[in-house]
Amino acid sequence: GSTYYGAAKWTGLRHLIRLAGARGEQVQWSLTLPWLYSSYGNGGRSGRDNLHLGGTLRMMGSERSRLRLGGEFWVPLAGSGLAPLGERRAFGRLALLGELAGGGLETGLSYTWELRGIGPETDGGPWPDAWSLDLRLGRRPAAGARACFLGGGTWQPEGDLACGWLGAG
């Protein structure tokens, strides 16, 4: 998949290869290998981004819908010079995820915080904790394949929208 990011003076593309698996119907895991391009400062640089490790535990649900508790961890391996998207910082995320199987709609409400003291030293102060809402609409045309559109927004504790995103995969 790919995600586009942008601001007044830069653009970025994050390309993802995601490996996922399951242990029965209750536990799912994923490993995401991202590659990042950033035009920040008219540099046109690309390189590796932070590795993502994640998992979910199915809490309840039926064949038509399900509710899961998820967790994710970013390992700070981003290449230097890819700021502002490729920050070499570690993060954790806890999420409550819902899915309606019939409509192909997935939603997620998550809380993200920086895991200070893990990984390389970073410039500047700690990043603020944030709440995010994600929506994904997709179809599974074949076993193991999926096409989708996604979007969402992140709000910081002050209630301000920190960023929004759109993507496809």
Band (77; pLDDT cuts 50, 70, 90): confident
In angstroms, rounded to a whole number, what is the distance separating the alpha carbons of residues 51 and 70?
Answer: 17
pLDDT averaged over the chain? Answer: 81
Category of 61 on φ-ψ map: left (φ > 0), alpha (ψ -120 to 50) or beta? left
Residue 100 has pLDDT above 90, yes or no: no
Q: Is the sign of the CA dihedral 169, 57, 52, 85 positive or negative?
A: positive
Say if strands 91-100 and 51-61 run parallel, antiparallel, or are unpaired.
unpaired
Please tell me the predicted confidence (pLDDT) of residue 142: 64
In angstroms, rounded to a whole number, what is the distance separating the alpha carbons of residues 24 and 22?
Answer: 6
In angstroms, rounded to a whole number, what is the distance separating the alpha carbons of residues 130 and 92?
Answer: 11
Please tell me the predicted confidence (pLDDT) of residue 62: 62
Encode pLDDT of 106-154 as tens digits: 888 899 899 888 877 666 777 788 888 888 887 766 666 677 888 888 8
Band (55; pLDDT cuts 50, 70, 90): very high
Bridge partners, residue 166, by sequence: 4, 151
Category of 24 on φ-ψ map: left (φ > 0), alpha (ψ -120 to 50) or beta? left
Residue 75 exposed, middle or buried by CB count within 10 Å (0-12, 13-18, 19+): middle
Please tell me the predicted confidence (pLDDT) of residue 143: 65
Band (101; pLDDT cuts 50, 70, 90): low
Output the pTM of the full model.
Answer: 0.69
Residue 166 has pLDDT above 70, yes or no: yes
